Structure 1
Amino acid sequence: MRIGILGAGSIGLLFASYLSKQFDVTLFPHRLEQSDLINEKGVTLQTLDSTITSKVKATLDKEEFNKQELIIVAVKQYQLANIRSDLNNIHKSIPLLFLQNGMLHLKLIDHLQHESIMVGSVEHGALKVNETTVAHNGIGLTKLAPYRGEITSISSLLNLHCEYFQFTTYSDYREILLKKLLVNAIINPLTAILKVKNGELIKNNFFMQIFHDLYSEIIPLFPELDSKNLLNEIIWICRNTENNESSMLKDIKFQRKTEIDAIVGYIVELAKDKNVRLPLTNMLYGMVKGMEKGGTE
Structure 2
Amino acid sequence: MNITILGPGAIGSLYAYRLNQAGHSVSLWGRHPASPVEFSLDECPVLSFANRDRHCLQHCDLLIVTLKAWQVEAALSPILEMLHQDTIILFLHNGMGTVERLQAQLHNRPVLLGTTTHGALRVTANEIRHTGQGQTLIGAWNPLGQQCQFVAEVLDHAIAPVKWHEDIRSALWTKLIINCAINPLTATLDCQNGQLVHSQYRSQLSAIVSEAAMCARTQTIELDDKALLQTVLTVAKATEENYSSMHQDIYNKRQSEIDFITGYVLDIAQKYQLAVPQNAALFQQIKQIEASWSQHD
Q: Same fold (TM over 0.5)?
A: yes
* Equivalent residue, structure 2, for 1:73: 65
Mapped contact 2:60–2:83 kept (Cα < 8 A) = no
* Equivalent residue, structure 1, for 2:33: 32
Match of 1:249 among 247, 250, 269: 247
Mapped contact 1:268–1:282 kept (Cα < 8 A) = yes
The percentage of counterpart residues that share the same residue type is: 30
CA offsets 1:12-62 (integer angstroms, 9 cap, x no match) = 1121122111122111111134x44x2xxx32223xxxx223414131233
Rounded to whole Å, the distance in 2 between the matches of 1:257 and 1:295 is 10
Count matched residues.
287
- The Cα shift of 1:163 comes to 8.7
Mapped contact 1:73–1:96 kept (Cα < 8 A) = yes
Match of 1:86 among 55, 79, 83: 79
Relative to structure 1, is the Cα distance of residues 175 and 10 closer, same or farther in structure 2, using a 3 angstrom cutoff?
same
Rounded to whole Å, the distance in 1 between the matches of 2:117 and 2:262 is 18
Name the SS of the counterpart of 1:199 in structure 2.
helix
* Equivalent residue, structure 2, for 1:237: 235
Relative to structure 1, is the Cα distance of residues 99 and 191 closer, same or farther in structure 2, using a 3 angstrom cutoff?
same
Amino acid at match of 2:97: L
Relative to structure 1, is the Cα distance of residues 205 and 113 closer, same or farther in structure 2, using a 3 angstrom cutoff?
closer
Amino acid at match of 2:40: T
Rounded to whole Å, the distance in 2 between the matches of 1:245 and 1:15 is 22
Q: Say which is worse superposed, 254-263 or 213-222, in terms of deviation.
A: 213-222
Name the SS of the counterpart of 1:20 in structure 2.
helix
Structure 2 counterparts to residues 191-270 of structure 1, below 5 A: 191-202=186-197, 204-223=198-217, 224-270=222-268
Amino acid at match of 1:31: H
Rounded to whole Å, the distance in 2 between the matches of 1:91 and 1:28 is 16
Name the SS of the counterpart of 1:244 in structure 2.
coil
Mapped contact 1:99–1:122 kept (Cα < 8 A) = yes
Match of 1:273 among 254, 264, 271: 271
TM-score, normalization by structure 2: 0.88
Match of 1:124 among 118, 123, 126: 118
Rounded to whole Å, the distance in 1 between the matches of 2:17 and 2:237 is 26
Mapped contact 1:45–1:136 kept (Cα < 8 A) = yes
Relative to structure 1, is the Cα distance of residues 21 and 172 closer, same or farther in structure 2, using a 3 angstrom cutoff?
same
Task: Please list every run of 5 or more consecutive structure 2 residues that lacks an aligned counterpart in the other structure.
Answer: none
Rounded to whole Å, the distance in 2 between the matches of 1:230 and 1:279 is 19
Amino acid at match of 1:277: A
TM-score, normalization by structure 1: 0.88
Mapped contact 2:156–2:162 kept (Cα < 8 A) = no
Structure 2 counterparts to residues 126-145 of structure 1, below 5 A: 126-145=120-139
Structure 2 counterparts to residues 171-190 of structure 1, below 5 A: 171-190=166-185
- The Cα shift of 1:142 comes to 0.9
1:60 aligns with 2:52: yes
* Equivalent residue, structure 2, for 1:19: 19
Match of 1:45 among 24, 27, 41: 41
Name the SS of the counterpart of 1:137 in structure 2.
strand
Relative to structure 1, is the Cα distance of residues 159 and 63 closer, same or farther in structure 2, using a 3 angstrom cutoff?
closer
Rounded to whole Å, the distance in 2 between the matches of 1:80 and 1:163 is 24
